[in-house]
Amino acid sequence: MKPKQNPTADVPIMDAEAIHKALRRIAHEIIEGNPNLESVVLAGIPSRGVEIASRIAAFIREIDKTDIETGVIDVAMHRDDVGTRKELPVVHASKLPVPLEDRTVIIVDDVLYTGRTVRAAMDAINSFGRPARVQLAVLVDRGHRELPIRPDYIGKNLPTATREQIQVRLRAKGISGLRTLAACWFRRSAETNFPLGPRKSAEISNLQ
């Protein structure tokens, strides 16, 4: 099935195949960098980070025959912009295995931008315990960090302007009901007149 095309300004930067390859490579890198793979927890940031984490876990299972744990780390209640937004971020229930001591927690998100979400995720993880290590895996690193944060695993480095948007969309996967990553779009807002949306779009389109 071909993903539906959005307005003409959308530039696809990764198709399903490219995302597949990038996540598979990240899975290899995680295996390589973590000899004690059983201690790894992939903690996805809702909602696309959770999907990406489960995709990486599936690759690791396929490559290394190791089942690694996945979790959900909600950042909404740990954000640093409370009281400054007109609309509150929706909170999700977090889920992490405890105890976290002696574990490596890999935070997984779709797009890394300012780094503030990752900082909030690290704070959230600390309220569950004190992991041995915390790492960061992202599908796209678009630059413009506002905090000293650096990803350990990167699907694609993508230099951007702040006025541009990166969108990662999910698609339902056949009858299993699972979602797979359909495509990653690069939206050049400079070329169109649509209003400047959230800096990192939160839209999920279910394309199937």
Partner 1 sequence: MTTRWTRKDLLGLRELTADEINFVLETTDAFKQVGTREIKKVPALRGKTLVNFFVEPSTRTRTSFELAAFRLSADVINISATTSSLTKGETLKDTARNLEALQADIIVLRHSSAGAPQFLASRLKASVINAGDGAHEHPTQALLDLYTIRERRGKIAGLHVAIIGDILFSRVARSNIFGLLKLGARVTLVGPSTLVPREFEKLGAEVSHKIDDVLPTADVVNLLRIQHERQRREYFPGLGEYIRLFGLTKQRARLLKPDCLIMHPGPINRGVEIDSEVADGLQSVILDQVTNGLAVRMAVLYLCGGIAT
Virtual torsion, Cα 119, 19, 152, 158, nearest 10 deg: -80
Q: Which residues of 54-80 are buried (b: 16+ CB within 10 A; e: fewer)?
A: bbbbbbbeeeeeeebbbbbbbbbebbe
Pick out residues in 38-57 that bind partner 1 (CB under 8 A).
none
Among 26-34, 55-63, 94-102, 166-174, the segment contacting partner 1 (CB under 8 A): 94-102
Out of 112, 124, 138, 170, name the contact with partner 1 by CB under 8 A.
124
Distance of CA 12 to the CA centre of its chain: 18
198 is a contact residue toward partner 1 (CB under 8 A): no
Q: How far is the CB of 48 from partner 1 (least distance, A)?
A: 15
What interhelical angle do 16-33 and 48-64 show, nearest 10? 60
Choices 71-79, 133-141, 145-153, 170-178 (CB under 8 A): range interacting with partner 1 = 71-79
**Smallest separation, CB 77 to partner 1 (Å):** 4
3-state secondary structure of 31: helix
- Which residue in the set 35, 85, 148, 175 belongs to the binding site for partner 1 (CB under 8 A)? 85
Cβ-based nearer residue to partner 1, 80 or 146: 80
Which H or E run includes 120?
helix 116-126
Q: How far is the CB of 124 from partner 1 (least distance, A)?
A: 8
Contact 207, 169 (CB under 8 A): yes
Which of 5, 8, 84, 176 binds partner 1 (CB under 8 A)? It is: 84
Q: Does 97 bind partner 1 (CB under 8 A)?
A: no
Element (H, E) at 64: helix 48-64
Q: Assign residue 102 a region: left if phi > 0, alpha if psi is -120 to 50, beta otherwise?
A: left
Determine if 82 is a binding residue for partner 1 (CB under 8 A): yes
Residues forming the site for partner 1 (CB under 8 A): 74, 76-80, 82-88, 90-95, 98, 123-124, 126-129
